[in-house]
Amino acid sequence: MSASSHALLGPSSAKRWLSCTPSARLTESIEDTESTFAAEGTDAHALCEYKLRKAVGLSVPDVSPKLEYYSKEMEDCADDYVSFILELYEEAKTKCKDPLVLVEQYLDLGKYVPESFGTGDALIASDGTLYIIDYKYGKGVSVDAKENPQMKLYALGALEIFDSLYDIKEVSMTIYQPRLGNVSTFAMKKDDLYKWANEIVKPKAVDAFKGIGEFHCGAWCQFCKARATCRERANSNLKLASKDFADPPLLTDEEVEEVLGKVDELTSWAEEVKAYALDEALKGKKWNGYKVVEGRSIRKYSNESEVAKTVEDAGFDPFDKKLLSITEMQKRIGKSKFIELLDRFVVKPQGKPTLVQESDKRPEFSTAAADFKTDNMEEN
Ligand code: SF4
């Protein structure tokens, strides 16, 4: 994971630079700011690496005491990940006498993408199938392995090492994202992967490396460092804002549908522009007609232990004993203990209705159930 972040055309940003080839050069000098989530992810990977190496019999020092974001949840997720890999390894052993597990393997992609490389979290090389497993600790967006260019590039890098050593027919790529319960696997024939590499990746990578080609907006823009100031993205979003909804006075169903299709992208772009402008203003930039002010703030105690003592001394109880939330409880007692003790008490009330695109994987909201509830409430 770490190595890929330093390549101009790294696998983790492949969806973006394959879709919008000039984006890599456009953004190469824009500063990269590491979020808390990224730092937590780095720790989670380090823990997985340690546990997997240990599980395959290597002598490695325990990294957990050094991890800033270490938690019981991180430990449980890493254990589950290791069990998953060991299961795949057992599966590989049924078809191959000497499969090999590799951990945090450097992958050279230079044959297809100039100066590119990455790191495979876990690989299992065996006759028949080459397995690629990518661990994602984040829980923001569920990542699909299907036709995922990051995974396909890792697979190409792994084939460079193992294609001559094993009789590989297909590659199986898995994204293991434990905090979302997402284990997404996509398999494809090795020859189809090589075809994609030669016909799609190679020419796009040449353009991306030179910084030429067409700018092209899409979902990948959200991970682009130019997302707030990119002219192509601004033009694309402003096209909707400047659309001339003339007569009749009320929008037609088709026009509402048109707005719905673009409104998420439009609002997230607007938020990103605002965040960028604030960030720059805090660094000293003066925007004409704007100034930075203090937002609303909420009162808080300057010293909580002193407050508790003072209230107790005055004869009152300063504490309100509350049950931990499901997430906090799971963190405290661990995932397996949580399932053992409390799973039977966990219910999931019906969520608030949300309008999403038809391609969304969630089943359609049952308006019948909601109507029934409303009717009953009205009768009572
Ligand atoms: S914001 Fe989108 S369109 Fe603009 S450079 Fe980045 S990826 Fe390309």
State whether the beta carbon of 208 lies less than 6 angstroms from ligand 1.
no
**Strands in the chain per DSSP E:** 100-108, 117-125, 128-135, 168-177, 182-189
- pLDDT tens by residue, 226-251: 999 999 999 988 887 776 666 778 88
362: which DSSP letter? S
What structural domains and CATH numbers belong to the chain?
Answer: 3-210 (3.90.320), 227-282 (no CATH), 320-349 (no CATH)
pLDDT band of 368, cuts 50, 70, 90: low
State whether the beta carbon of 7 lies less than 6 angstroms from ligand 1.
no
State whether the beta carbon of 17 lies less than 6 angstroms from ligand 1.
no
Give the closest residue to 162 by CA, choosing from 204, 126, 133, 192: 126
Q: Is the pLDDT of residue 3 over 50?
A: no
CA angle 173, 61, 78 (to 5 degrees): 35
* Residue scoring higher pLDDT (36 or 130): 130
- What is the predicted pLDDT for the residue at 307? 97
- pLDDT tens by residue, 35-90: 777 889 999 999 999 999 999 999 899 999 999 999 989 999 999 999 999 999 99
Q: Are 118 and 3 in contact (CB under 8 A)?
A: yes
- What is the predicted pLDDT for the residue at 250? 87
Reported pTM: 0.80
C-alpha 212 to ligand 1 mean position (Å):
13
370: which DSSP letter? H
State whether the beta carbon of 23 lies less than 6 angstroms from ligand 1.
yes
Q: Is the pLDDT of residue 377 over 70?
A: no
Order of strands across the sheet that contains 168-177: 100-108, 117-125, 128-135, 168-177, 182-189
- Three-state SS for 20-58 is CCCHHHHHCCCCCCCCHHHHHHHHHHHHHHHHHHHHCCC
Torsional class of 104: left (φ above 0), alpha (ψ -120 to 50), beta (otherwise): left
pLDDT band of 2, cuts 50, 70, 90: very low
What span, in angstroms and rounded, lies between the C-alpha atoms of 185 and 110?
25
C-alpha 14 to ligand 1 mean position (Å):
13
Spatial neighbors of 164 by CB under 8 A, at least 6 apart, are none
3-state SS, residue 6: helix
- What is the predicted pLDDT for the residue at 365? 82
Q: What does the pLDDT average to over 172-183?
A: 96
State whether the beta carbon of 225 lies less than 6 angstroms from ligand 1.
no
What span, in angstroms and rounded, lies between the C-alpha atoms of 158 and 102?
10
C-alpha 142 to ligand 1 mean position (Å):
22
What span, in angstroms and rounded, lies between the C-alpha atoms of 22 and 199?
19
* Residue scoring higher pLDDT (350 or 279): 279
Q: Measured from the CA of 225, which atom of ligand 1 is nearest?
A: 6
